[in-house]
């Protein structure tokens, strides 16, 4: 099993997150995907990897977005035969100590979503604006796409490798919040079993959030388009007459 951790300017958080992850799931391997962080995060990742054969580093030339970083990690994992991949933020907001529960749930599912908005889930130190944005985004995506997932934008999740092989067979261009929504809807469309496990999400204490207005607007635009396509497809199925078998004309 591989834990993929994308990074950009996370030098204050990375060593602690990697250490806690190794203690929480000693058998897991970790891949740090650094997008050319100018603050030296990549060098810290290299130092961690040099002393631990369970830690690996992928260096990318520049900041290409969360979605692209995860896709690169997924492909890296599939090329090396990992059976499952976990997404985890580098800022400490996803508690590594909850990783065993996600992995246990994966025994009976294809995709496990760490959820803030199911019973037992929670957020810590989030302002009201962020709560409304997250819950509102999940609600809008749920209604537009006709899915039952309560926390569709969350980034703490686990995928079986066969899910990634199927989903990545087509191009994925979305990023940020939108990437997480896209992966969830594609997994459901492919018929995979998706379950939610309650988690506690803790606001970062070091560094700056990568959330931006552009990421939110991209998510709204893409979800609206996907929702429109979904409704059109539903209507098409209703109005298209089913094909009947031709009568047997042989005497």
Q: Are 85 and 74 in contact (CB under 8 A)?
A: yes
Q: Are 116 and 134 in contact (CB under 8 A)?
A: yes
CATH number (domain holding residue 75):
3.90.550.10
Q: What is the full per-residue pLDDT of the chain (251 aa) written as tens digits?
A: 999 999 999 999 999 999 999 999 999 999 999 999 999 999 999 999 999 999 999 999 888 888 999 999 999 999 999 999 999 999 999 999 999 999 999 999 999 999 999 999 999 988 898 888 888 888 998 999 999 999 999 999 999 999 999 999 888 877 767 899 999 999 999 999 999 999 999 997 766 665 556 667 777 788 787 777 767 776 777 887 655 444 454 43
Query: Does residue 69 lie in a domain region?
Result: yes
Query: Does residue 132 lie in a domain region?
Result: yes
Query: Does residue 57 lie in a domain region?
Result: yes
Buried b (16+ CB within 10 A) or exposed e, 97-109: ebbeebbebbeeb
Query: Does residue 82 lie in a domain region?
Result: yes
Q: What burial class does residue 93 get, using C-beta atoms within 10 Å of its C-beta: 0-12 exposed, 13-18 middle, 19+ buried?
A: buried
Q: How many domains does the chain have?
A: 1
Q: How far apart are CA 159 and CA 109, in angstroms?
A: 9
Query: Does residue 246 lie in a domain region?
Result: no
84-87 vs 2-7, strand pairing mode:
parallel
Domain that holds residue 51: 2-238
Q: How far apart are CA 35 and CA 128, in angstroms?
A: 30
Query: Does residue 248 lie in a domain region?
Result: no
pTM confidence score = 0.86
């Amino acid at each position: 099993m591989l834990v993929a951790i994308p990074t950009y300017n996370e030098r204050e958080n990375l060593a602690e997150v990697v250490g806690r992850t190794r203690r929480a799931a000693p058998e897991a391997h970790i891949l740090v995907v650094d997008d050319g962080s100018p603050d030296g995060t990549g060098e810290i990742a290299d130092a961690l990897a040099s002393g631990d054969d369970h830690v690996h580093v992928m260096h990318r030339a520049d900041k290409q977005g969360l979605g692209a970083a995860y896709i690169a990690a997924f492909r890296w994992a599939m090329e090396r035969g990992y059976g499952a991949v976990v997404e985890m933020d580098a800022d400490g907001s996803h508690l590594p100590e909850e990783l065993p529960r996600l992995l246990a749930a994966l025994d009976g599912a294809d995709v496990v979503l760490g959820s803030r908005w199911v019973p037992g889930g929670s957020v810590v130190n989030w302002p009201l604006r962020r709560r409304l944005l997250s819950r509102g985004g999940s609600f809008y995506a749920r209604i537009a796409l006709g899915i039952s997932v309560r926390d569709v934008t969350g980034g703490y999740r686990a995928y079986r490798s066969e899910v990634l092989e199927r989903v990545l067979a087509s191009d994925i261009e979305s990023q940020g919040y939108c990437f997480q929504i896209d992966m969830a809807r594609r997994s459901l469309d492919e018929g995979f079993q998706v379950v939610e496990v309650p988690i506690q999400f803790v606001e970062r204490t070091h560094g700056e959030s990568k959330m931006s207005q552009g990421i939110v607007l991209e998510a709204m635009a893409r979800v609206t388009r996907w929702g429109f396509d979904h409704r059109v497809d539903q209507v098409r199925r209703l109005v298209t007459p089913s094909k009947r078998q031709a009568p047997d004309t042989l005497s």
